[in-house]
Amino acid sequence: MSSDNHIIIVGGGPAGSATALSARREGAEVTIVDRKTHVGIPVQCGEAIGKTGPGIAEIEIPEESIRVPIRGFRVYSPALISVDFAEKEPSGYIIDRRVFDKELLARAAEAGSDVLLGAKVIGLKRSKGTVSGVVVRHNGERKTIKANVVIGADGVNSEIARLTGLRRSFKPADIDSCFGYEMVNCNLEFPDLMEFLLGSDLCPRGYIWIFPKGEGRANVGIGIGGGFGEHTAQQYLDHFIKHHEIAKRQLAKAKIVECRVGALPVCGPNEQNVVDGALLVGDAAGHVHPITGGGMGYAMVCGSIAGQVASKCVSKGDVSAARLQEYETKWRKRYGDEFAQSLKLRDLLIETEDETLDRLARIVTGDSVVKMASARKVKIFAKAMATRDRKLISLMRELRKLKMV
Ligand SMILES: Cc1cc2nc3c(=O)[nH]c(=O)nc-3n(C[C@H](O)[C@H](O)[C@H](O)COP(=O)(O)OP(=O)(O)OC[C@H]3O[C@@H](n4cnc5c(N)ncnc54)[C@H](O)[C@@H]3O)c2cc1C
């Protein structure tokens, strides 16, 4: 590729493919480089995706990747007080990431992107201080590929974030350590709802999830805050599966057919995601919800903004950080407050005792949970005051400071 409007996207996950699709729509020449030979494998995901993110990014969820439609969720507080949210129509899906990631990549290729698999980016090329390409190791050889813009869509351990200096190193608490199983022979109580369980002993600063996959299958997993708790994520999950009453009801006969390990950046987005000639998107940029750990939808929306802005900048011949900043401004306009507020809410909830979470669960509806997760205001203050519960009222005062109630 030797054109003068060439964008290299490092990473062929949801962020990379969404970026490529949008950059191609704007007429840029695109090469996606991925170190894997089959994107999406191993699966490191609970595989839940809402319709909203892909809808905004104007990307149809590949039908062949859909396992089951999802109508909502049930959250269990530590004492198993449940809060339900269920819509009439499906608002999302449990997908198969092996199929999903590959199909999105296929669409990006069908739209004209070049794809280079099995090519690990190990360095950046710079011209007069501006990023102007990548150095890859491919088939045992070291090659340099020139580009007008390099987009780092290379996930939580982004090499591009490290090489550009855009990512500070993670502290343990910045990361959720995740472990999960795909299980068969499950006897799920809610085949079209996701289940979440909370509790400081069950899953410190995190949650356990049970996501239905159809035909008695489920993704059962856990995310715990780095440095929190005394056991590994797997130990917490195994203990849950063996001893917890919710698991006994649904997973007593279940068998494990796949293990999944992964890390999630839950510290909010990087302070800055653009430099001269390069930008970051998806997990590499920290586009992950600090409470739910969901990242695919954000990756696709921010990717579509990144592709559009990067293409515009290369076609105008100005890829300075000042011009690429339009990407930063646009994605922050859409999600900046949501990430910032959710981070504050997450930190407040960490400090909240299990008993207070139980009391909160008694007064909130599923609708309020959805609103709180997306940093919207909820009307629960009066209800909380009426309980005369000192700790719940003090939590409400803190929420009021965050303008969330
Ligand atoms: C256990 C777990 C459960 C999760 N569950 C959900 C969920 O249910 N729903 C949800 O929305 N999100 C979930 N997430 C988060 C979600 O998986 C990520 O937010 C999403 O995959 C981010 O997409 P991405 O394209 O930014 O990165 P990735 O999907 O990580 O893709 C990055 C790509 O970059 C490639 N790459 C990396 N380094 C290099 C390099 N040096 N050179 C070339 N290529 C490179 C990788 O091979 C990979 O293909 C979960 C995460 C974990 C760990």
The share of the chain scoring above pLDDT 90, in percent, equals: 96
* Mean pLDDT, the chain, integer: 96
- pLDDT tens for 102-145 read 999 999 999 999 999 999 999 999 999 999 999 999 999 999 99
Q: Is the CB of 303 under 6 A from ligand 1?
A: no
79 in a structural domain: no
Q: Do residues 119 and 141 share a domain?
A: yes
Backbone angles phi, psi at 16, to 5 degrees: -65, -45
80 in a structural domain: no
List 76's β-bridge partners, or say none.
82, 197
Buried-exposed string 283-299: b where 16+ CB fall within 10 A, e elsewhere: bbbbbbbbbbbbbbbbb
Task: Tell me the CA–centroid distance for residue 44 and ligand 1, in Å.
Answer: 7
| Residue at which a domain ends, from 233, 265, 297 | 265
- pLDDT tens for 290-326 read 999 999 999 999 999 999 999 999 999 999 999 999 9
CATH code for the domain in which residue 276 is found = 3.50.50.60
Domain limits at 379? 343-401
Task: Tell me the CA–centroid distance for residue 156 and ligand 1, in Å.
Answer: 7
Q: Do residues 114 and 163 share a domain?
A: yes
Instruction: Provide DSSP, 232-289.
Output: -HHHHHHHHHHH-HHHHHHHTT-EEEEEEEEEEE-S-S-S--EETTEEE-GGGGT-S-
Q: Collapsing DSSP states into helix, strand and coil, what is residue 309?
A: helix
Report how far residue 100's alpha carbon sits from residue 255's, in angstroms, rounded to the nearest whole number.
Answer: 24
Q: Which of 283, 287, 301 to mutate to test the pocket of ligand 1 (most atoms within 8 A of CB)?
A: 283
- pLDDT tens for 383-404 read 999 999 999 999 999 999 999 9
82 in a structural domain: no
Task: Tell me the CA–centroid distance for residue 98 and ligand 1, in Å.
Answer: 12
Closest residue CA from atom 26 of ligand 1: 282
Torsion of CA 377, 270, 291, 105, to 10 degrees: 110
Closest residue CA from atom 27 of ligand 1: 155
pLDDT value at residue 169: 86
Q: Do residues 365 and 383 share a domain?
A: yes
pTM for the structure as a whole: 0.96
Closest CA to 161 of 21, 40, 287, 346: 287
58 in a structural domain: yes
Contact (CB, 8 A) for 168 and 186: no
Contact (CB, 8 A) for 57 and 330: no
